[in-house]
Amino acid sequence: MISSLVGAVIMSAATVAMLVALNISNQALKTVGKHPITEQEKEILLNAGFSSREIDLVNQDIEILNFE
């Protein structure tokens, strides 16, 4: 009787841990690739011939991306 109760508690804890891990990974995947262009990247793009307006357009496109 006690062993089945302990087993049920262990199964419940494992299930909760799995659900928490899935939730954290889903939240991380929603934000992947949505970081704005860094100053170093802007400098590289400017040296490559892109204008500031074009770089701003790329940043706007990054914000619109939806990875769901």
Distance CA 55, CA 62 (A): 11
Counting residues of the chain whose pLDDT is more than 90, the rounded percentage is: 57
**What distance in Å separates the CA atoms of residue 49 and residue 42, rounded to the nearest whole number?**
11
pLDDT for residue 18: 96
Residue pair 67/33 in contact by the 8 Å Cβ criterion: yes
Model pTM? 0.49
For the chain, residues with pLDDT lower than 70 are: 33, 67-68
CA 35, CA 62: separation in Å to the nearest integer? Answer: 8
